[in-house]
Structure 1
């Protein structure tokens, strides 16, 4: 466990060094191909760093934070201005968070500043974005993936895949085809990122089931959009019907394609065993 802790620290020191490089590149080069090519070595390094760890939870956390989002958004125009804050750049690059835009307060700024400690104490839970928004109440695939499930991470493929690809395709294709292709591409990238995460955790050959799960979900979103456009409001079902259908389909497809790869390779049992060992190791110190 001590050796794993040292490896974990070394990995994140390397990550911090890489983020410093990303900050320099983002400050020096405009968004586009040149910045993307300059960051390609960081992509490869971020993909390999989790392999230096051997336990489930540190590996999963590291892989999730640095390979799902990583420096990809640094190559595009989805970061805060690098010249404003190096600290914000680190947070936005390494962690799936959203930076709130500063608000311009007029009138009595001193009183507002005096209220900040009270606001922080009373409303700290409102400052951080909720990771999910009651996904069990979803009424459609769009509602689930776009507005309720894993909101902090959803922004990554939306800004780095969906929007750029849609903007590129719209001059060449019909708007509906461009949107459908961008949606499928975003879900495909999400599936591949999860496949990499699963490989880091299990160290087993990919079965591509989790990629299939996300491709299936993307296809369902596209079909749903087309169906809504075709029938409009004439055949709109009630929430009491749509919610069980949506949540039931999500649960069924997750049990079919999302979880088996982890269960078959014993990742769940290993994670529980590691948590127990960690707790047992802490007991003599308290």
Structure 2
């Protein structure tokens, strides 16, 4: 119990430090112009945000906080230094909105323009297009039912772990894969909901049913952790794309931009794994992302070369895509997590939460 209270105390101190630091960034931006001067003013905060997650040790609190602070907030601050990104989308942004958008996985939806008259594919260049934004999922009762179903499935998966001793190892790993997805979606959706209540704004979804992906490009670019994709695009992909366009031409420029994006993602995942395990990196996670980056480059090149506009049936494409992601995760992504006992520590935290809830419930009913 004392250990849990200590972790909560550290969590409070970490996020209080984040709030004070972001308030400083919000204030100095009123006096320091964008560009190098503003970058120099926020670099100490970026360094601090890389250090703060070391104060937390739990899988859930430490893992989510390191993602929010060391990755999202830092990348948004780097964009902010040059007058770009979500923190600069509104010149009159309030301090509360600045703090929320800076460190939480949310992206405010842009107002939609009136729908233009439809054009034929040959008029707008959409024929053979292999990338682009996807339509956000509909909100409302369907979304509520969707999240409720996922929470039920997540609870059922936790119950399945009671039979770990008799289940095959690969079945357990398969459950771990969906465990990570459901947990991330529930955490990010909860954070987005709280931000929606505080800000009174509609927020874009964090996931778009990644198990329905029909290709690696669909999975990584439009369905999996959309917030990370939207941050990596302006900070990594677009600068490399602009540079490589001048070197290799527009046709080949997306390929090094894709690989550069996956390299940065790999390094950030290695950092988060270090926060979670406090062990030297084995670089298996890096191999996972480099391999996917290479495969995605091949996929894009083949689509352009062969002018592919259709693929296998959606069910087949989804099965192949999700299967490929899961198998390669078994090779390189899950093993380092299991070595620093992420699964066992997570179960211990679930048990601690359940015991605390039971104790509070007992006091309420006995009162």
Cα distance in 1 for residues equivalent to 2:94 and 2:140: 24
* 178 and 104 in structure 1: CA distance in 2 versus 1, 3 angstrom threshold: closer
Aligned to 1:203: 278
- Mapping of residues 239-254 of structure 1, within 5 Å: 239-254=314-329
- C-alpha displacement of 1:78: 0.8
Structure 2 match to 1:78: 85
Kindly indicate whether the alpha-carbon contact (under 8 Å) linking 1:26 and 1:74 is maintained by their aligned counterparts in 2.
no
Asked whether 1:277 is paired with 2:352, we answer: yes
Q: Distance in 2 between matches of 1:207 and 1:38?
A: 34
Structure 1 residues 207-222: aligned runs within 5 Å: 207-222=282-297
Q: Which runs of 5+ in 2 are unaligned?
A: 115-138, 145-192, 194-201, 362-367
The reply on whether 1:3 has 2:6 as its aligned counterpart is yes
Residue 3 (structure 1) shift: 1.6
2: CA distance, partners of 1:153 / 1:70: 11
Question: Within 1, Cα distance between the matches of 2:21 and 2:142?
Answer: 34
Residue-by-residue CA offset, 1:7-63 (whole Å, 9 max, x unaligned): 110010001111112223444444433333322211211111111122221111110
Would you say the 8 A contact 2:109–2:203 is kept in 1?
A: no
- Residues in 1 aligned to 2:314 and 2:143: alpha-carbon distance in whole angstroms: 32
The 3 A distance-change label for structure 1 pair 283 and 240 is closer
User: What stretches of structure 1 of length at least 5 have no aligned partner?
Assistant: 106-119
Deviation at 1:234, TM superposition (A): 8.1
SS in 1 for 2:246: coil
Return the TM-score normalized by structure 2: 0.68
Q: Match of 1:17? A: 20
The residue that corresponds to 1:266 in the other structure is: 341
Does the Cα contact within 8 Å between 1:262 and 1:268 map onto a contact in 2? yes
Question: Secondary structure of 1:130's partner?
Answer: coil
Aligned counterpart, 1:111 = none
Q: Quick one: distance in 2 between partners of 1:98 and 1:38?
A: 25
CA RMSD of aligned residues (A): 2.6
**SS state at 1:8 partner:** helix
CA 25–100 in structure 1, closer or farther in 2 if over 3 Å, else same: farther
CA distance in 2, matches of 1:169, 1:30: 29
Deviation at 1:162, TM superposition (A): 0.9
Q: Who is 1:109 aligned against? A: none
- Asked if 1:95 corresponds to 2:104, the answer is yes
The partner residue of 2:237 within 131, 143, 162 is: 162
Q: Counterparts in 2 of 1:37-48, with a 5 A limit?
A: 37-48=40-51
